[in-house]
Structures are given as structure tokens and as C-alpha cells.
Amino acid sequence: MSVLITGSVALDSVKTPLEEHHDLLGGSASYASVAASFFTPVNMVAIVGTDFPKKYFELYRKHGINLDGLQVAAGQTFRWSGEYEWDLNKRQTLSVCLNVFETFQPGLPEAYKATPYVLLANISPKLQMHVLAQVSGPKFVVADTMDLWIERERDALVELLRHIDCLILNESEAREFTQQTNLIKAGRQILKQGPKFVVVKKGEHGSLLFANDMFFSAPAYPLEGIHDPTGAGDCFAGGFAGYLAWKDRVDHNTLRNAVIHGSVIASYCVEDFSLTRLESLTQPEIKERYDLFQVMSRFEMS
């Protein structure tokens, strides 16, 4: 089963305490689409400017990503820049320039409209809703968001929650959105606003999956070689949605496995800048880390 992914395609400038890089391929749709492509065919919906380097179209194509919904418009590609502290969990956004995204109102290619699985990767909730409204009877809809939209477009985000099956957000966003300090209360509160499932990402501490009758706490992979955390959340969402689409099932055990597969792809993403590590990622490497997640989480009565 294929997955439709919409979100940003960006040229990122990223500074860590040890390295600085400019005009890297980034954006929520880039990370999420490449992550999902390890499991299932992807239909991408996004926009770039005429300055977008040709080599990046090639990268998407190499991952079999359908680009019929990737519009090229006169103007500049979305740009984002961020800087990390020595504690790589702490990031400052230095600038965001929406550029061609400012007026982006895509009409979906006809062949995309019946895509059964949908991932609304991080972008304005109004745009997420605009895309979702054109998909006919999707089986499962996942949405990701960020603090910017919680602060600036809260009403649109609340409305979106009524139309999706699963919301993914990180712990500080869950607290900010619900005004709850406790994450369990925050997760339960979001469930009451529409989605049947909520995933709260806790960075290097793993993630929590909530449903009304289920709770799952996934560990994080104990990584030592983190170079650039950018895109980890988007890769998690892409791996999660891509895995569900591949299995074409959304029962509790498949959802737990989707959380682990999302975590596996995210753990590889942060080993290098941009999508560099994902470009060389192989299925045996995904399996190897998945197996380690199983070993790390298993215990028996002593």
C-alpha cells in the first residue's frame, strides 16, 4: 500500500558545536518520504523553487518516490536554519523563510487521490487540511506538528485533530498544546480531541504510544555517534507511517512495531547531516537495529 506524504521541502543551514553546513536538503516531507520509502511506495506533495538543486530530485527518484505532486514554482525554495547547543537536544531556530510555501495550495494529481495511507508531515495545519480534504476515504491518517503551529494556528490544528487517526508530537509540544505538565495526562487529553492514537516523542528517551485501551513505551536506541539531530522527528513519522502502509494493518501490535521502525530510521538519520546516512541505509541495517530494540526491551521474571 502506498502512502501520500505532504510537508516541507527545504534547503537547511545547520550549525552544531562542531560543524556548520549550508543549503542542505531538508524539510519534513524530504525526511519523512525517504524514511517511508524503506517500507512502501511514496506519493510526495510539496513545492520547491527554481533554485532547488537537480541532484536532490535524483535522490528522491533513487528512493522510488513519486514526484508528480512536487511542484516547481518561480521563486525560492523554503529555507530554515538552526543551531544546536552542546546538549544536542537543545536547538534554536535562527530563521524560517516560507518562500514558495507562502501561497502553496496544491491540487492533488488524480492518481494520488485514492492513496490509502496519509502522512501530513510538519507544515501549517491549514495546508495539511487542504491536502487531506482531497484524499478520498483514506484508511489511516497520521499528522505531525510543531510548536510554531501550536502557537500561531491553534484553531486550525484543533480542527485537524477531528479528521486524523494519529497525532505525533514531541514532549514539549504535547505539554504546550495541552497545558499539562504530565505527559500521560497530555496524551490522554489529546485522545479526547479526535485522534484514536497519539505518539509523544521524547528524543533520546524514546516515545510513548497512547490509545484509549492501550499504552506502549518504546525505548530509544542508545546512540553514541549523533552528528545532526535535524529531521529525526520527521524520519520517525515517515518510518511509522511507511511501516503501517507496508503492513496495511493498524492493530495495536502493528502500531507498536511501527513506533520501533520509526525509531530505527530516526536513529540512523542523526548519524550524519541532512539525508546523507539514509542514502546509504540498507534493509539488513534496519533489521539489525530492530532486533537490538527487541533485545533491549525484553525481560522475563527472574
The residue ranges that bind ligand AMP (CB under 6 A) are: 8, 10, 12, 26-28, 80, 96, 122-123, 148, 230-234
Residues in Cβ contact with 206 at an 8 Å cutoff, skipping those fewer than 6 apart: 217, 218, 219, 220, 263
Helices 252-269, 28-36: axis angle to 10 degrees equals 120
Q: Indicate the residue among 28 and 178 with the shorter CB distance to ligand AMP.
A: 28
Burial 24-41 (b: 16+ CB within 10 A, else e): bbbbbbbbbbbbbbbbbb
Give the Å distances, CA to CA, from 178 to 150, 208, 235. 10, 16, 24
Nearer to ligand AMP, 12 or 165 (CB): 12
Instruction: State the nearest-atom distance from the C-beta of 132 to ligand AMP, in Å.
Output: 16
Between CA 284 and CA 171, with CA 19 as vertex, the angle to 5 degrees is 65
Work out how close the CB of 252 gets to ligand AMP at its nearest, in angstroms, rounded to a whole number: 25
* C-alpha span between 235 and 275 (Å, rounded): 10
CB of 4 to ligand AMP, least distance (A): 17
| Contact (Cβ atoms closer than 8 angstroms) between residue 272 and residue 294 | no
Grid look-up 510513548 returns: 208
Distances (CA, A) of 281 to 215, 228, 285, 289: 30, 16, 7, 12
Least distance in angstroms from the C-beta of 77 to ligand AMP: 10
| Of the candidates 172, 175, 223, 230, the residue with the CA atom closest to the CA atom of residue 202 | 172
Name the strand (E) or helix (H) holding 46: strand 42-49
165 or 234: whose CB is closer to ligand AMP? Answer: 234
Closer residue to ligand AMP, CB minimum distance, 260 or 269? 269
Distance separating alpha carbons of residues 106 and 67, to the nearest angstrom: 13
Residue, CB closest to ligand AMP: 26
Q: What is the DSSP letter of 77?
A: P
Distance in Å, CB of 225 to ligand AMP, minimum:
17
For ligand AMP, the closer of residues 11 and 198 by Cβ is 11
Between 125 and 247, name the residue whose CB sits nearer to ligand AMP: 125
The answer to whether 241 and 142 have CB atoms below 8 angstroms apart is yes
Nearer to ligand AMP, 178 or 230 (CB): 230
Nearest distance from C-beta of residue 43 to ligand AMP, angstroms:
19
Q: How far is the CB of 233 from ligand AMP (least distance, A)?
A: 3
Cβ at position 192, least distance to ligand AMP in Å: 26
**Which residue, 11 or 108, has its beta carbon nearer to ligand AMP?**
11
